[in-house]
Amino acid sequence: MPEGKLCNKQTVDAKEQLDALLADKGGKQYYEEMNHLDVDKKALRATLKNVVRSRFKTWLEICSHCGLCAESCFYFLANDRDPKQVPSYKIQATLGKLLKRKGDVDNAFMQECMDSAFSKCTCCTRCGVYCPFGIDTGLMFAYMRGILFSQGFSPWEMKIGTGMHRIYRAQMDVTTEDWVETCEWMAEEYEDDWPGLKIPVDVQNADIMYTVNAREPKHYPEDLAEAAILFRVAGENWTVPSEGWEETSLAMFAGDGAACKMQVESVYDAMDRLKPKRMVVTECGHAYRATVIEGPYWAGIKSGQPPVESIHYVEWVAEALRTGKLKIDPSKKIKEPVTYQDSCNYIRNGGLGDVAREIMGYIAEDFREMDPCREHNFCCGGGGGLNGIGRYREQRNVGLKIKRDQILATGAKLVVAPCHNCWDAIRDLEEIYKIGIRWSFLKPLLISMIDVPEHFKPTEEE
Amino acid sequence: MYEFVTGPLAWISFGIFFIGLIYRLVWYIRGLNWQLDRVAYTQHVSYGVKGALRSIFYWMMPYGTRSWRDNPGFTFLVFILHIGLLATPIFLKGHNILLMERWGFSFWTISESTADVLTVVVIAAIVFLILRRIAKPEVRLITDIHDYLMLLMAVAPFITGILAHYQVGNYRFWLILHMLCGEILLIAIPFTKLSHFVLFFASRAQLGMDYGIKRGGMKGKGLAW
Ligand code: SF4
Ligand code: SF4
Ligand code: SF4
């Protein structure tokens, strides 16, 4: 059987395909079919030729096997310094071999590559910062995922994720109606406490177009209400688009370039339609990376910049605190020791380390840095889509140990984690290792700390 | 033989060395693609240049980066090795006399005792790097035969050179072998890992531009390498 019914080289563009995949609980049949999936060597060779050019070839060739990248990788450390977890080894054993064999590889090899690309690398890009030659193994693994995807070797959840983006322009099955209804529902739900609260949909020429992670409308709608409260308190003229509201990209994790393009273009279209001054992305790391940092390239924008200036939520918060749009009640600042999870996606790969510190300066009395921190921080352990992949749960859980120990060393019991993936990983690490910590996005913390203007006081306080 | 090694072969090896390196550099740059690499190389030029220069500068400074500082012993070996590898042949008196004779120009020179010290330093650094390769499991696993070959090729001109200089045994033999080793090294550089002679700069500049233009360089102070 060269192509499976569920596991194949086709992309998921129809709802029936997606439903069939979803019905296969845990991907049992999907992975079984994967064992029989043929490798299209001709196509693979062509893909390699397109993707692996002088930059990657140079990286693979000049690597002096010095091993400096070893300790930079949290997997190496978490797996008791297993030499097989050295970034250089991991990439040479996969992409390096694939290239040497010019794509002449079998099914077992492709599965090994998939297992490495997803369970031994979260594409956190830390190792690239530690290599004298600037060899960015995490980046190569991200492209490796694309090569694997083109041959149908993708974890089940990733394949589903790409289908979601292709069909719903969101990582989950949230339709335009669901989204708009959720906005209305949340505004109503919170209106009693926050008189006049609104979530304005499709307003043109607003100062801010706010965009989210589909998990928010789907599972944590209160996050949306909290965003509305903070925008309202800050007096912002803001809106959300009815379409093009989703920032995340499981397609990026999966390596489905075409779906990445479709997804970001839906957001850029919303910018064209609504002509906001700026866009603000919710507290999500990879969403910001996908739509603001990488997105313009998928969409073919030569300047490498999104159509309108786009900022991460932490940038908006820092600005609002700096300009006094949001004022913290000094008596409500966080008194206990608190630490901050630097997301690879907007700190190391987005340059927002200082912005995060600025916020902590306003809201915390006893801020404790993790060691290492900022652009040198370790991945939380759940990056690159790993949190969501059942097949690699065990490997993920081992990787979480590094973050656990980093948090423990700070002595803080509260972790501020303005990134959905990091937030999940920290939640899971508490569940598994029970170290007695709490974790939070910024929004609920801010709401508990800000001065609320008279006209907008929750009614029970009036 | 002596005439051949110092004459045509020298020309050929220097020719291959320079043309090969230029070719590698051109090949590298031509292989870049803004959309595939997702770096707007030609836009935001000042950020790109700044990113590239920072990325090269900090890594050329001994202990200039976190990675160098985390590995003090290795960093020491790498820097003294490279200083010795480059300075000794370029500034050696004998080489410069030859240069003047054959090609009509020369650089300033170092004393013989300095050259001796540098030579011993290179040999010692390479011995320690080989020991490190064997001793550290994470380095041993990724090491292959090429890595040893590179070290051997790099050290051979130094060993043969010092043997010739001190006329251990047959001077003529060591001298010719020394020149052959040097020429082999020159020819090998463009075609092997040693192409990092130029590709180090290319790769560092590329990643520097990536960080400088795209990954935060336009927002923060620039990556703290
Ligand atoms: S640090 Fe760089 S050169 Fe050294 S082994 Fe790792 S990838 Fe290769
Ligand atoms: S990108 Fe991160 S997870 Fe992947 S090999 Fe490098 S350090 Fe390890
Ligand atoms: S999940 Fe968080 S820490 Fe991990 S790679 Fe993503 S942003 Fe980085």
From chain B, the residues in CB contact with A81 under 8 A are 137-138
Q: Is the peptide bond before A418 cis (omega within 30 degrees of 0)?
A: no
pLDDT at position A106 is 96
- A31 CA: distance to closest CA in chain B (Å): 30
Give residues (CB < 6 A) around ligand 1. Answer: A 63-69, 87-88, 131, 133, 135
Ligand 2 centroid–CA A94 distance in Å is 14
pLDDT at position B3 is 85
**What is d(CA B135, CA B74) in angstroms, rounded to the nearest whole number?**
13
- Give the amino acid at A366: D
Collect the ranges in chain B with pLDDT lower than 70. Answer: none
Cβ pair B138, A67 in contact under 8 A:
yes
Determine the residue of A120, A286, A339 to mutate for testing ligand 3's pocket, defined as the one with the most ligand atoms within 8 A of the Cβ atom. Answer: A286
From chain A, the residues in CB contact with B218 under 8 A are 351
Partner-chain residue, chosen from B36, B71, B204, that has the shortest CB–CB distance to A134: B204
From chain B, the residues in CB contact with A375 under 8 A are 216, 223-224
Q: Is B50 on the interface with A (CB under 8 A)?
A: no
From chain A, the residues in CB contact with B40 under 8 A are 297, 302-304
- A67 CA: distance to closest CA in chain B (Å): 5
pLDDT at position A462 is 44
Chunked into runs of 10 residues, chain A (462 residues) has average pLDDT values of: 88 96 96 96 96 97 97 97 98 97 97 97 97 98 98 97 96 94 95 91 97 95 96 96 96 97 97 98 96 97 97 98 96 97 96 97 97 96 94 97 97 96 96 96 96 77 46
From chain B, the residues in CB contact with A77 under 8 A are none
CA–CA distance from A218 to each of A21, A176, A223, A249, A454 (Å)? 20, 12, 11, 16, 32
Ligand 3 centroid–CA A374 distance in Å is 12
Q: What value of ipTM does the predicted structure carry?
A: 0.96
Is residue A337 classed as helix, strand or coil in its secondary structure?
Answer: strand
**What is d(CA A267, CA A279) in angstroms, rounded to the nearest whole number?**
10
Cβ pair A425, A380 in contact under 8 A:
yes
Q: Is B195 on the interface with A (CB under 8 A)?
A: yes
What's the residue count for chain A? Answer: 462
Partner-chain residue, chosen from B27, B68, B196, that has the shortest CB–CB distance to A133: B196
- Residue where the block lists tokens 């090998």: B188
Q: Is B145 on the interface with A (CB under 8 A)?
A: no
Structural domains of chain A ordered from first start: 39-153 (1.10.1060), 169-319 (no CATH), 326-449 (3.40.50)
**Number of A:B CB contacts under 8 A?**
156
CB contact under 8 A, A375 and B217: no
Residue in A with minimal Cα distance to B67 = A130
Q: Which residues pair with A337 in a beta bridge?
A: A366
Would you say the CB of residue A95 lies under 6 angstroms from ligand 2?
no
CB contact under 8 A, A302 and B55: no
| DSSP secondary structure letters along B136-163 | -HHHHHH--HHHHHHHHHHHHHHHHHHH
DSSP A325: S
Cβ pair A271, A306 in contact under 8 A:
yes
Cβ pair A256, A293 in contact under 8 A:
no
CA pseudo-torsion sign B138, A390, A424, A233: positive
Ligand 2 centroid–CA A383 distance in Å is 10
Helix or strand holding residue A56 (H, E): helix A54-62
Q: Is B38 on the interface with A (CB under 8 A)?
A: yes
Beta pairing class for A238-239 and A278-281: unpaired
- A95 CA: distance to closest CA in chain B (Å): 15
User: How many angstroms from the chain centroid is the CA of residue A108?
Assistant: 29
User: How many angstroms from the chain centroid is the CA of residue A241?
Assistant: 21
From chain A, the residues in CB contact with B140 under 8 A are 83
Contacts of A200 (CB under 8 A, 6+ apart): A206, A238, A239, A240
Helix, strand and coil in chain A, % to nearest 5: 55, 10, 35
Contacts of A427 (CB under 8 A, 6+ apart): A439
Per-residue tokens: A13: 């563009």
Cβ pair A247, A290 in contact under 8 A:
yes
Q: Is B73 on the interface with A (CB under 8 A)?
A: no
pLDDT at position A460 is 56
Q: Is the peptide bond before B72 cis (omega within 30 degrees of 0)?
A: no
Q: Is B155 on the interface with A (CB under 8 A)?
A: no
Ligand 1 centroid–CA A59 distance in Å is 9
Would you say the CB of residue A285 lies under 6 angstroms from ligand 3?
yes
Ligand 3 centroid–CA A381 distance in Å is 7
CB contact under 8 A, A68 and B71: yes
pLDDT at position B221 is 85
Residue in A with minimal Cα distance to B222 = A351
Largest CA distance in chain A: 73
**What is d(CA B155, CA B170) in angstroms, rounded to the nearest whole number?**
20
CATH C-level class of B2-218: mainly alpha
**What global pTM score does this model have?**
0.95
**What is d(CA A413, CA A205) in angstroms, rounded to the nearest whole number?**
42
Would you say the CB of residue A75 lies under 6 angstroms from ligand 2?
yes
